[in-house]
């Protein structure tokens, strides 16, 4: 590896598997896949190799809500490192059972919200529903409120 080539370094302890980096990367060098109840995010080890834009870009690091991505210039000669992959267990929707978010993502949302408002016990909260079921529950509640309003 050339001394001037940067390496993208994801910090596994900080990463919550939210995929913000995959959306932010204009070169699509950071990828994700989901199979069953697992999500994998793959990062290029030699960021910049064959990608001139990546040498000037740090959008993935800027997009990361956990500051889990950094860039380093390795000292001396380093081996050519393969892609780095982080794996995350997915939580299933409490209504339909579809895996949809990582455990760390949900913990972050719960923590952020609980600082502002008290939360019901686990298992009875919108954050534990997939986006489709959240919309469905919201529509059902709106419809119930309209019916109650019209019958009064």
What is the C-alpha separation between 112 and 91, in angstroms, rounded? 18
Any idea where the domains of the chain sit in the sequence? 7-88, 93-151
Name which residue leads in pLDDT, 144 or 5.
Answer: 144
pLDDT tens digits, one per residue of 53-102: 566 788 999 999 999 999 887 776 555 566 799 999 999 999 999 999 99
Quick one: average pLDDT of 107-124? 75
| Tokens (6 digits) for 147 | 């019916």
pLDDT of residue 51 exceeding 70: no
pLDDT for residue 75: 72
- In the 3-class helix/strand/coil scheme, how is the chain assigned residue by residue? CCCCCCEEEECCCCCCCCCHHHHHCCCCCCEEEEECCEEEEEECCCCCCCCHHHHHCCHHHHHCCCCCEEEECCCCCCCCCCCEEEEEEEEECCCCCCEEEEHHHHHHHHHHHHCCCCCCCCCCCHHHCCHHHHHHHHHHHHHHHHHHHHHC
pTM above 0.85, yes or no: no
Confidence band (pLDDT; 50, 70, 90) for 8? confident
Question: Are 76 and 3 within 8 A, CB to CB?
Answer: yes
CATH of domain 7-88: 3.30.70.20
Nearest to 51 by CA among 69, 71, 37: 71
Name which residue leads in pLDDT, 26 or 123.
Answer: 26
Compute CA 27 distance to the chain's CA centroid, rounded to the nearest angstrom: 18
Nearest to 23 by CA among 48, 7, 46, 41: 41
pLDDT for residue 96: 95
The winner for highest mean pLDDT among 48-57, 110-119, 138-147 is: 138-147
pLDDT of residue 110 exceeding 60: yes
Confidence band (pLDDT; 50, 70, 90) for 4? low
């Amino acid at each position: 590896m050339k001394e001037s080539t940067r390496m993208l370094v994801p910090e596994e302890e900080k990463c919550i598997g939210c995929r913000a980096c995959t959306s932010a990367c204009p070169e699509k060098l950071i990828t994700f896949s989901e199979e069953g109840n697992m999500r994998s995010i793959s990062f290029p080890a030699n960021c910049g190799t064959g990608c001139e834009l990546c040498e000037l870009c740090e959008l993935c690091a800027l997009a990361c809500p956990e500051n889990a991505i950094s860039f380093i210039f390795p000292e001396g000669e380093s081996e050519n490192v393969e892609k780095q992959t982080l794996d995350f267990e997915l939580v299933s929707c409490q209504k339909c059972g579809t895996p949809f978010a990582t455990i760390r993502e949900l913990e972050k949302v719960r923590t952020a919200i609980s600082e502002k408002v008290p939360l019901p016990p686990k298992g009875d909260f919108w954050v534990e529903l997939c986006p489709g079921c959240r919309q469905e529950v919201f529509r059902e509640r709106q419809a119930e409120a309209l019916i109650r309003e019209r019958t009064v």
